[in-house]
Structure 1
Amino acid sequence: MREGGAVSLLRRMPLYWRVCLINAVVFVLGTVALAVAPVTVSSRVLASEAVVLAIGLTTILILNALLLRSTLAPLDRAARLMERVDLESPGERLTDTGNGAVADLVESFNAMLERLETERRTSTARALAAQEAERHRIARELHDEVGQGLTAMLLGLKRAVDRAPDDIRADLELVQTAARGSLEEVREVARRLRPGVLEDLGLVSALAALATDLTAHTGIHVQRGLASGLPDLGKEAELVLYRVAQEAMTNVARHSGADTVYLSLTRQGAGVALLVADDGRGLRPGSEGAGIRGMRERALLVRAELTVRRRPEGGTEVRLVVPVPVAGRPAA
């Protein structure tokens, strides 16, 4: 019992005092060894005596190094592990607990990581919620204010065209065509800002609408593999999937020079996987921009795994795997 209490007391001792204790033990042992050993040192050190002193010193240094290593080596390993920890890869923790002060340090570091990840998810959720609310507000104002104003303008232009003389009717018709085009653009912007099809018809229909829009505006062919009967992921996760797909397809249209895009939504293990792959120029090394960083932030929000890579056969692949909530899993 006493031995266990002594070991427990030693582990709770601060690191500084443990090092002092180890050195004290080594020096005491060295002193005792010299005191009881049948050796003497002459006023003029002989070669044999120098050898004995060297052996004794070497023994003390080795013993001290071994004892200190057992105490401090876990701290070095913990420091190296800390350098590899990345908040963008949540869930990673230090497992080399060591003992005593090192164990306390590792436990505190893991607790700090947990707090940072929780705070990051919370702040990201608030920022994205504010962003979505602002998108909805702008979409509503575009639809209700600008859209209605352009509609009233078109009605007025139609009446003016019907009553205008022949010499100015062609000019009015050009203005009417330009106003109609502006109204369609406003509606398109409002629809991208607020995905009403996602709210009304669901994720699969919303992704199909994205594919249709991409083909209509760019001529890029989209091969679809959208599975039906997928588990309910919740509104937040479905919005993340939609926004990631929207950003990925926007990048394809702007930067890839692709002819074909493959869009799929399938069940993958305990999650649902979204894949957007193209046959374009591919992602350049170090070219990760704000769009991809935004995707990563959204993925962290729902604890999803996002992979953006250059395909071996050419082009870029974006894969997002969203875990299925426990409550949404089908009964076994």
Structure 2
Amino acid sequence: MTTRIATITGYLVRSLAHLPIFYKVLIANSLIVVTGAVAGTTLTLLSTGSTEHLFELVALFTIAGTFLSVLINWIVLRAAFRPIDVLEQTADEVRRGNFHVRAPSVPLSDPDLENLTATFNAMLDTLVGYQQRLRELSQRVLTAQEEERQRIARELHDDPAQSLTALLVLLKMLHDRQQPTDGRTLQELIDLTTATLESIRAIAQELRPPVLDDFGLAAALEGLAAQYWQRFGLPVHVYVRGQRQRLSPEIELALYRIAQEALTNVAKHADATYATIDLQFREGTVSLRIEDDGRGFEPREGLGRGLGLFGMRERAELVHGTFALESEPGHGTRITVAVPLESRTQFASTTGVRA
């Protein structure tokens, strides 16, 4: 008998433990009120000596107390737990993909639950903001890809294609002559072929410099500086501080592209007489600073001028780095990026972006 009672008691305890908190509080409050009503009624009748209808009165007060307790507790607890139900419904809508839903304010709600609702709505606002930023970034990536394709197509058409056309015309002329070719014509063919090959190499170098993969970031930046001197006549001084070392491909590519975009801005927009690239290897950190003596600009306006600042910042954040921009009209521009080297191991199992 004792074992059976213990089994039943254990089953009831487990069942109550799995009930929602609403029903746990409701049952607990109801038991307290009913116990108080029964005990109070019994003691009152016994103290007065009126025990003739003791059982009937106790049963009446028990039923009435139970009904009123359950009713009042139901109303009060339902109102108190209403914000939790609202949050649950809102979270379910979010789980289904509706990120624009917000949990409404509930009248007579507990202040702590109101704060929880406000925090939940703020979290959804932040999430929607990140989604909007991601869409903008995706659009910028697509636009940049299309612009890059147009630029490559234009450069191929304007330089190598025209050179190859001229080369083809000369070869046809030689073929039509059907006579020995003089040295001057051969030299023209050699020069034209050499120029065409150099143009194609320059385009390939800009798309993906082999030196970055073969010799690392420092050598690639030195080659980039030479390239901007040849193309734009812009003197670029490169300073490498600390012990040179190979970084993860993702970090090297991100810093190289940031330097490339920054120098392009300097060459096309800054009217600068020189620029500097300062690459510093420290224990646990690599930093890159690009500085020029150009006309500068207002940083808030720069984001809307198509200067690639958004893309540079995104590249720095993708390798867990920090991006800082300092500029003002008439005083040049300085871009500083710092990347923690301990993050390099985090990229070992991910697919790097090759751009």
TM-score, with structure 1 as normaliser: 0.55
Q: Which residue of 2 aligns with 1:250?
A: 264
* RMSD (CA atoms): 5.0
Check the 8 A contact 1:261/1:278 in 2, yes or no. yes
Q: From 285, 297, 301, give the equivalent of 1:283.
A: 297
Tell which has more relative contact order, 1 or 2 (C-alpha 8 A, sep 6+). 1
Residue of structure 1 equivalent to 2:322: 305
Aligned to 2:113: 100
**Number of equivalent positions:** 246
Kept in 2, the 8 Å contact 1:237–1:302? The answer is: yes
Alignment of 1:175-190 (within 5 A): 177-190=191-204
Alpha-carbon offset, residue 197 of structure 1: 1.0
Residue 339 of structure 2 is aligned to residue 317 of structure 1: no
How far the C-alpha of 1:322 sits from its partner, in A, is: 2.0
Partner Cα distance (2:123, 2:244) in 1: 35
Q: SS at the partner of 2:108? A: helix
Return the letter of the residue paired with 1:16: V
Hey, what does 1:95 align to over in structure 2? none
Aligned partner (choices 113, 119, 122) of residue 109 of structure 1 = 122
Q: Distance in 2 between matches of 1:123 and 1:198?
A: 30
**How far is the alpha carbon of 1:274 from its aligned partner?**
1.0
Q: 8 Å contact 2:319–2:339 — kept in the other structure?
A: yes
Report deviation, 1:320.
1.6
Matched with 1:235 is 249
Structure 2 Cα separation of the partners of residues 115 and 325 of structure 1: 31
Counterparts of residues 204-243 of structure 1 (less than 5 Å): 204-229=218-243, 233-243=247-257
Letter in 2 for 1:248: A
Distance 2:148 2:195 in 1: 22
TM-score, normalising length: structure 2: 0.52
Structure 1 segments unaligned to the other structure (5+ residues): 22-70, 72-98
1:282 and 1:315 in contact (8 A); partners too: yes
CA shift in 2, pair 1:315/1:204, >3 Å:
same
Q: Deviations over 1:56-77 (max 9, x none)?
A: xxxxxxxxxxxxxxx5xxxxxx
- 5 Å-filtered alignment, 1:20-31, equals none
Q: CA deviation at 1:192?
A: 0.5
Q: 1:147 to 1:16 in 2, by over 3 A?
A: same
Q: Which has the larger radius of gyration?
A: 2
Query: 1:1-332 residue pairs with structure 2 within 5 A?
Result: 12-14=81-83, 15-18=105-108, 71=111, 99-107=112-120, 109-110=122-123, 113=126, 117=130, 160=174, 163-164=180-181, 169=184, 173-174=187-188, 177-229=191-243, 233-267=247-281, 271-284=285-298, 286-288=301-303, 289-290=305-306, 291-310=308-327, 314-326=331-343
Question: Would the alpha carbon gap of residues 163 and 117 (structure 1) be closer, same or farther in structure 2, given more than 3 Å must change?
Answer: farther
C-alpha deviation, 1:116, in angstroms: 6.3
Post-superposition CA distance 1:69-102 (Å, at most 9, x none): xx5xxxxxxxxxxxxxxxxxxxxxxxxxxx2132
Query: Does the C-alpha gap of structure 1 residues 125 and 323 become closer, same or farther in structure 2, counting only changes over 3 Å?
Result: farther
How far apart in 1 are the matches of 2:254 and 2:136? Answer: 16
The letter for the 2-side match of 1:100 is L
What's the secondary structure of 1:325's corresponding residue? helix
SS of the counterpart of 1:18? coil
Structure 2 runs not aligned, ≥5 long: 1-24, 30-72, 84-104, 347-355
* In structure 1, distance between residues paired with 2:331 and 2:229: 20
Structure-1 separation of matches of 2:240 and 2:323: 19
Secondary structure at 2:294 match in 1: coil
Secondary structure in 1 aligned to 2:267?
helix
SS of the residue corresponding to residue 295 of structure 2 reads: coil
